[in-house]
Structure 1
Amino acid sequence: MKYAFVFAMAAVLIVFLALRLGGVTWLLLWPGVSFILVALAYAGLGEHAFGKRVDGRMQPWAVILLLPYLLLTWGAWHLVRWLSRERAFDEVVPGVFIGRRLLAGELPDGIVTVLDLTSEFVEPEGIRRAGRYVSLPILDASILPVARVTPVLRELAVGSGALYIHCAQGHGRTGMIAAALLIARGDALDASTALSMVQRARPAVRLSATQSRALAELATALLAVRPGAGAALPLSWRDADASCRGLREEWCRSQDSLLSHLVHCIRTPFCSKPAPECQVQALRRVVDAEPSEVTRAELAAIHSGCSRGRVANHAVLCAPACPSR
Structure 2
Amino acid sequence: MGVGISFLIGLKAATLFSIFTFMNNLGFKWFAIPFLYASLISFLVSIASHPSINLPMLLGKGSDGVFPIWSLIIFSPYLYFVRAFSALRRLRSGEAPYSEICEGVYVGGWPFSPDKLPPGNPAVIDCTCELPRKTELSGHAYLCIPTWDTRSPQPAEIESAVKWACRKRAQNSPIFIHCAYGHGRSVAVTCALLVALGVAEDWKNAEKLIKERRPYIRMNALHRKALEEWSKFRLSSPKRNDEIGLGSVILSSPSERS
Q: Which has the higher contact order (CA 8 A, sep 6+)?
A: 2
TM-score range, shorter chain: 0.7 to 0.9
Deviations 1:121-148 (A, max 9, x none): 111112222x201111111010132123
1:264-300 per-position Cα deviation (integer Å, ceiling 9, x unaligned): xxxxxxxxxxxxxxxxxxxxxxxxxxxxxxxxxxxxx
User: Which residue of the partner structure matches residue 109 of structure 2?
Assistant: 100
Q: How does 1:130-149 map to 2 (within 5 A)?
A: 131-149=140-158
1:15 aligns with 2:24: no
Q: Structure 1 residues 144 and 81, CA, compared in 2 at 3 Å: closer, same or farther? A: closer
Deviation at 1:190, TM superposition (A): 1.1
Partner of 1:134, secondary structure, is: strand
| TM-fit CA distance, 1:195 | 0.9
User: Matches of 2:94 and 2:18 in 1, distance apart?
Assistant: 40
Deviation at 1:150, TM superposition (A): 1.3
Q: In structure 2, the residue corresponding to 1:164 is in which secondary structure? A: strand
2:61 paired residue number: 52
Structure 1 position 89, deviation (Å): 1.1
Please tell me whether the aligned partners of residues 142 and 173 of structure 1 are also in contact (alpha carbons under 8 angstroms).
Answer: yes
Q: Please, which of 118, 121, 128 is the counterpart of residue 138 of structure 2?
A: 128
Distance 1:48 1:13 in 2: 25
- What is the alpha-carbon distance in structure 1 between the residues aligned to residue 55 and residue 213 of structure 2? 30
TM-score (structure 1 length as normaliser): 0.64
What's the counterpart of residue 43 of structure 2?
Answer: 36
> Could you tell me whether the CA contact under 8 Å between 1:74 and 1:121 is conserved in 2?
yes
Distance between the aligned counterparts of 1:174 and 1:194, measured in 2? 13
CA RMSD of aligned residues (A): 2.2
* Aligned residue among 172, 178, 191 for 1:179: 191
Matched, 1:209 2:216: no
C-alpha change, 1:191 and 1:166, in structure 2 (3 Å) is same
Distance apart, 1:208 and its partner CA? 0.9
SS in 1 for 2:77: helix
- Measure the CA separation in 1 of the matches of 2:202 and 2:231: 6
**Which 4+ stretches in 1 moved above 6 angstroms?**
none
1:319 is matched with which residue?
none
1:113 corresponds, among 120, 123, 133, to 123
**Within 5 Å, which residues of 2 pair with 1:143-182?**
143-159=152-168, 160=171, 161-182=173-194
Q: How many residues align?
A: 228
Cross-structure match for 1:306: none
Q: How far, CA to CA, are the matches of 2:43 and 2:70 in structure 1?
A: 15
- Correspondence for 2:202 among 170, 181, 190: 190
Identical columns (%)? 26
- For 2:206 and 2:239, the matched residues in 1 are separated by 24
Q: Is residue 178–residue 186 contact of structure 2 (8 Å, CA) maintained in 1?
A: yes
Query: For residue 95 of structure 1, what is the amino acid of its counterpart?
Result: G
Cα distance in 2, alignment partners of residues 87 and 13 from structure 1: 33
Where do 5+ consecutive residues of structure 1 fail to align?
229-325
| Aligned pair partner of 2:80 in 71, 88, 113 | 71
Distance 1:14 1:83, change over 3 A: closer
> With structure 2 as the length reference, what TM-score do the two structures score?
0.80
